[in-house]
Amino acid sequence: MLREIVLDTETTGTDAKNGDRLIEIGCVELINHVQTGVTFHRYCNPTRPVSQGAFGVHGLSDAFLADKPLFADIVDDLRDFLRDSPLVIHNAPFDVGFLNMEYARLGAAAPPPIDLADVVDTLQMARRKHTGASNTLDALCVRYGIDTTRRTKHGALLDSQILAEVYVELLGGKQTSLGLAAVETVTAETGPALADDGIPLGPRRLRHRLTPEESARHAAFLATLGPSSVWRDYLGEDATA
């Protein structure tokens, strides 16, 4: 099982090294590239004003943030949620830079800094896949037909949910997360899974829900099609049996 965390942040500005702070963090859990519905979302009081440029992007005002907890008050919850799971971030140096700067402010009590080498950067993925094209999150949503009408301002949790959809497309599309649940895994311990008629399931045989009467009527119909019926070739067996 692969657990990944898609992460996004909002901040007071663009320069963590010169005092800008993290004000919102949103995370979405993926299991084998599928959103589970498990999320993490917190606002933080940055103890400094939000720049006008940043406010225009996310709409989070000083007044709104005034009664929110400090980053130090939510870091344990964040650490428990992230665990050791790989992170998926769009333009990872930006968000990782802010997270590591917040960690550094906490001193010895902070989690270890995040290593960019351990982060999946979807911006770099997109640049490799769509060389020369715009690869902003908005541009990728347009390219892949992902609905963003619910999004009037940038928000860390909503952007993480949208990025999770983009990430699956960058990996090759929704088929990467699809499987046939009706086909059971064959293992050395259990042997091949069997259909209702006792014949092993495989890539061309799925478990059916026909009643014995419906199966009999279907077999009678197939018998009228003759020995060259495409059903016989498809099933690889006596289709009327």
- Give the C-alpha separation, 20 to 13, whole Å: 5
For residue 175, the tally of other CB atoms under 10 A from its CB is 9
Known active-site residue 154: yes
- Give the C-alpha separation, 86 to 61, whole Å: 31
Per annotation, catalytic residue among 33, 90, 130, 154:
154
Q: Percent helix, strand, coil in the chain (nearest 5)?
A: 40, 15, 40
Q: Which of 125, 155, 157, 175 has the alpha carbon at shortest distance from 59?
A: 155
Q: Are 71 and 65 in contact (CB under 8 A)?
A: no
- The 3-class secondary structure across 120-164, one letter per residue, is EEHHHHHHHHCCCCCCCHHHHHHHHCCCCCCCCCCCHHHHHHHHH
Residues belonging to the chain = 241
DSSP symbols for 34-83 = EEEEEEEEEE---SSPPPHHHHHHH---HHHHTTSPPHHHHHHHHHHHHT
Radius of gyration for the alpha carbons in the chain, expressed in angstroms and rounded: 26
Query: What letter would DSSP give residue 166?
Result: H
Catalytic residues: 154
